[in-house]
Amino acid sequence: MDFFKKNKKLSICVLLTAFATLTFSFKDDLFLISKNLDIFASVYRELNINYVDEVNTTKVMRTGIDAMLEHLDPYTEFVPESEIEDYKMKYVSTQYGGIGAGVIHREGRVFISDPFEGYPAQKADIRAGDEIISIDGNQIKDKTNELVSQLMKGPRETPIILVIERNGQKLEKTLKRAEISQPNVSYHGMVAGNIGYIKLDKFLENSAQEVKDALVDIEKNHPSGLILDLRYNGGGILQEAVKIVNLFVDRNVDVVIQKGKNPEKTIAYKTFMSPLEPEIPLVVLVNSRSASASEIVAGSLQDLDRAVIIGQRSFGKGLVQQTFNLPYNSLVKITVAKYYTPSGRCVQALDYTHRNEDGSVDRVADSLMTVYQTKAGRSVYDGGGIFPDFYVDPYKYHQITQVLVNKYYIFDYGTIYARNHPTIAAAKDFKLSDGDYQDFVNYLNNKNYNYQTATEKTLIALKTDAEKDKKYEEIKGEFENLKAKLSTNKKNDLTQYKPEIKRLLENEIVHRYYFEKGRTEQGFQHDKELEKAQEILSNKTLVAAVLKGEGTYKIIGKPGQMSAQIE
């Protein structure tokens, strides 16, 4: 009895001590916050009163806020009132008032790049390649992107007058703005093998419903399998990701858990309704640009052994942000938690809390990654994105092709081609003839598409070093011969890399006739990840074996770069 009394007194003493420590700690935190706020406000006040020149107070404050957030992570940011609408479009809603067209800015000039099918710009026969000269009488040459965007947008049904230039001729177009809704699901349909395909570009408002609607439409064809394409999908709203997983997984299953310093930010998200397609063989495509909510969907379906993941290692963003309203219609977006997939892994690749002395951030080394187990006992990894079950080498375009894209020569030739060809074949079947490709080569005759190869850069460095050592004259002959050979080889690049250049030309041309849907369908012809997904889904034995962790797997290089061979 004495023992319990003594321990009771000890417990009370410990509790009181802990409470006192927490109280003092809390008071210390409040004091430090109050102290630093007072210092900050005082500096700001004295600056405004005493600085020798006029101070732009808004700019000074914004600089201070940005500097304060800079040492955290790139996802924690302040959004002033002037940027709220752009923020909502980027992170929350897919709707805005405008004419429905994308633009590109080139050397102070603005061109239509992407008229959206069915919206005012396309209905008014505004085409990709048209140069915008003025908007409502405002000349836009050398104007900022922000100003051009501001002039284009406005409430629905409000008039807007564009003066465009096409083929050297000025045309005036009077339109009425409409509510523009860019879909989260940019394409869905059937591909070879009676396989359904859904391309999800973002996880903004209503994305789960759009995926569900696409799935219901695909179900009419009684598909043998389904491909969910999350490549280049940078994420969005976490709850939408949970709803999408729920389309394929039973109710009351953990999809993702977010854990933060604040206990209120630790939340487990579970499926909450019966799935629409709990049995359909499923493949998810990812690449290095698949991030955040994309990784929640891919990681959860992988951990639950519900989908085969194909592509490349995903981006590795395991952080959760929440917005908080501030005075004067501004807000701050703060990273409040990390998220963990059902196996318990966090895919965050960069540790922003422990920066290097120069401020840089390192990726988690592959050797330090922890192994976790899926529901069926398969090995998965943390610390660096989602590793695919089947790795497909990403296609890397040659320098010549990159230059042709970056200098807009492929874009401009698409404009020329569309001008001279009223119609083309269906998007899935369109091919550029050899004669058309030669026409493109001729178009480039007076264009500058030079670039430096790695070998040329090394050669230039060698010349610099030789000149410093006063040895250049001794090797000048050999240097010039080698330089000439490299130059001759580059002239053959348009022939050597014709297949990949043609591929991009075809895609640009198809877009002029069939818009974004056509671009996607034309891209199917050369899509190695899609081809691999069709191959996997055509072998139900292989799909089942992979998801159960059966068979023999040959690991190539790093985790997630694997080919499967069932024995």
Q: What's the CA gap between 418 and 440, in Å, rounded?
A: 13
CA angle 508, 411, 315 (to 5 degrees): 70
Among candidate residues 202, 317, 490, 532, the one labeled active-site is 317
Q: What's the CA gap between 56 and 48, in Å, rounded?
A: 9
User: In the prediction, which pLDDT does 488 show?
Assistant: 64
Other beta carbons less than 10 A from residue 203's beta carbon: 27
pLDDT tens digits along 327-355: 988 999 999 999 999 999 999 999 888 88
User: In the prediction, which pLDDT does 357 show?
Assistant: 80
User: In the prediction, which pLDDT does 553 show?
Assistant: 43
Q: What is the mean pLDDT of residues 183-203?
A: 97
Among candidate residues 201, 229, 254, 303, the one labeled active-site is 303
Q: Note whether residue 78 is domain-resident.
A: no
User: In the prediction, which pLDDT does 557 show?
Assistant: 41
Of 48-57, 256-265, 472-481, 552-561, the one with minimum mean pLDDT is 552-561
Of 341-345, 409-413, 470-474, the one with minimum mean pLDDT is 470-474
User: In the prediction, which pLDDT does 352 show?
Assistant: 87
Among candidate residues 290, 292, 294, 343, the one labeled active-site is 292
Counting every residue written for the chain, the total comes to 567
Domain that includes residue 486, residue range: 454-491
Contact indicator for 284, 297 with CB cutoff of 8 Å: yes
Is the pLDDT at 228 greater than 60? The verdict is yes
Listed residues 181, 212, 232: the one ending a domain? 181
156 plus 266 within the same structural domain: no
Is the pLDDT at 558 greater than 70? The verdict is no
Q: Note whether residue 79 is domain-resident.
A: no
363 plus 290 within the same structural domain: yes
User: In the prediction, which pLDDT does 181 show?
Assistant: 86
360 plus 508 within the same structural domain: no
Q: Which residues pair with 363 in a beta bridge?
A: 350
49 plus 155 within the same structural domain: no
292 has catalytic annotation? yes
The pTM score is 0.86
Q: What's the CA gap between 387 and 560, in Å, rounded?
A: 4
**Enclosing H/E stretch for 338:** strand 330-340
pLDDT tens digits along 175-187: 999 998 889 999 9
Is the pLDDT at 16 greater than 80? The verdict is no
Q: What is the mean pLDDT of residues 24-47?
A: 77
User: In the prediction, which pLDDT does 32 show?
Assistant: 80
16 plus 117 within the same structural domain: no
317 has catalytic annotation? yes
107 plus 164 within the same structural domain: yes
Q: What is the mean pLDDT of residues 528-541?
A: 96
CA angle 237, 105, 160 (to 5 degrees): 80
Count: domains in the chain: 5
pLDDT tens digits along 49-63: 898 888 888 888 889
273 plus 339 within the same structural domain: yes
- Which residues are CB-contacts of 527 (< 8 A; sequence separation ≥ 6)? none
**CATH code for position 106:** 2.30.42.10
Q: Note whether residue 75 is domain-resident.
A: no
Count of helices and strands (H, E) across the chain: 17, 23
Q: What's the CA gap between 353 and 71, in Å, rounded?
A: 9
480 plus 506 within the same structural domain: no
Listed residues 343, 364, 388: the one ending a domain? 388
Is the pLDDT at 519 greater than 80? The verdict is yes
Q: Note whether residue 86 is domain-resident.
A: no
More confident residue, 367 or 536: 536
Closest by alpha carbon to 338, among 322, 327, 358, 361? 322
Closest by alpha carbon to 328, among 75, 41, 61? 61
pLDDT category, 556, cuts 50, 70, 90?
A: very low
Is the pLDDT at 26 greater than 60? The verdict is no
344 plus 481 within the same structural domain: no
Is the pLDDT at 225 greater than 80? The verdict is yes
User: In the prediction, which pLDDT does 482 show?
Assistant: 81
Percent of the chain with pLDDT over 70: 90
**CATH code for position 322:** 3.90.226.10
Q: Note whether residue 67 is domain-resident.
A: no
Query: Which structure tokens are listed for 279?
Result: 């049995």
Q: Note whether residue 528 is domain-resident.
A: yes
Q: Tokens 């920066």 appear where? A: 355
Q: Note whether residue 351 is domain-resident.
A: yes
pLDDT category, 306, cuts 50, 70, 90?
A: very high
User: In the prediction, which pLDDT does 325 show?
Assistant: 92
Percent of the chain with pLDDT over 90: 64
Q: What's the CA gap between 299 and 256, in Å, rounded?
A: 9
For all residues of the chain together, what is the average pLDDT? Answer: 88
168 plus 214 within the same structural domain: no
472 plus 566 within the same structural domain: no
Q: Note whether residue 150 is domain-resident.
A: yes
User: In the prediction, which pLDDT does 55 show?
Assistant: 86
Classify 51 as helix, strand or coil: coil
Query: Which structure tokens are listed for 444?
Result: 């480039």
249 plus 275 within the same structural domain: yes
Is the pLDDT at 95 greater than 90? The verdict is no
**Enclosing H/E stretch for 196:** strand 195-200
Q: What is the mean pLDDT of residues 517-525?
A: 95
User: In the prediction, which pLDDT does 12 show?
Assistant: 42
379 has catalytic annotation? no
Of 182-186, 228-232, 481-485, the one with minimum mean pLDDT is 481-485
Of 22-36, 231-245, 292-306, 380-394, the one with minimum mean pLDDT is 22-36
